[in-house]
Amino acid sequence: MQQAAIAKHRARRDAGAARKVAGGRSNVRKAPARQAARKALRRSAARFHGRRALATLLALPLGLLGLLTSPLGRKLGWSWLVHPGRRLYRRLTGSAREERGRRDAAIRDEQAAAEDATERAATEDSTDGIGDQVARPAVPVANSTDTTSTSEGEHVSGFQFEEHAAEMEQAAQSYDPENAMEILAMVESLPAAITSVANVMKTLAERSDSEFPLEKEVADGFNDIFGALMSAVAVAEDMGPLFRQAHEQDIARHEDPRNGPEAEKGWNV
């Protein structure tokens, strides 16, 4: 009875872990489609705001003219003379808003279609890139020569990831940028840097499955870390635009100085 309860608990735990892993892999597969959709939606929003600004410029002269025509239109009962600028602005922005709605709906439909195609492809490849069990060699294989032994008998890998990570941490602590534009360049390179770290975990997952004498759970663990890091890449991609938006005027002084960099220094900021 006790053994049956333990087995039932383990089965329930394993099923929960499998669902969690499957959900993480699904998010990783869908990440490119979601990233493309976010970029397309940002472009759509920028286009809408641009058209709204254009509508303001076009409606402004009519709005000034409306100061004269509106009283006359009320007196004569001609509604088309009342607030012509306001009505033109509403019409133009309404049209732009409808077009944005159609664009956004099409973008979301494309995203859903891309995600469905990705899921179908993953379903056809039932292994999802990770086998259920690592292939074992038929005969014993000698230990790799890439490891060295210490005096205590511990094995030190030739790939010491923690040392490289510690060097990066130390570099961040001692980082002393010359100016904020250098920080901007660093921020805009973050997605590529984090992607490289994520690819380390992806490579370890693939090699754990195909080369190293490890079980499937270990490869799954590396794959989960890869998915988490790729989620961080999506966040890092928003850092560059956020930085530029928050410091738009400061960046403009460097990238588009008025009358040259020396003249811009006259503001002493």
Per-domain residue ranges of the chain: 25-128, 161-269
Structure confidence at residue 226 (pLDDT): 85
Angle ∠(23,28,31) on CA atoms, nearest 5: 120
Q: State the angle between helix axes of 216-237 and 190-210 in degrees (0 to 180), rounded to the nearest 10.
A: 170
Structure confidence at residue 148 (pLDDT): 46
> Mean pLDDT in runs of 10 for the chain (269 residues)?
66 69 71 84 87 86 82 81 85 90 91 84 60 49 47 56 83 85 88 88 84 81 85 85 86 70 54
* Residue entry with tokens 């397309």: 40
Q: Which residues contact 39 (CB under 8 A, 6 or more apart)?
A: none
Query: What is the spatial distance between Cα 30 and Cα 14, in angstroms, rounded to a whole number?
Result: 24
On whether the pTM is more than 0.75, the answer is no
Q: Identify any residues that bridge with 156 across adjacent strands, giving them in sequence order.
A: 148
Please state the φ and ψ torsions of residue 157, each to the nearest 5 degrees. Answer: -70, 150
Structure confidence at residue 30 (pLDDT): 78
Structure confidence at residue 98 (pLDDT): 92
Structure confidence at residue 133 (pLDDT): 46
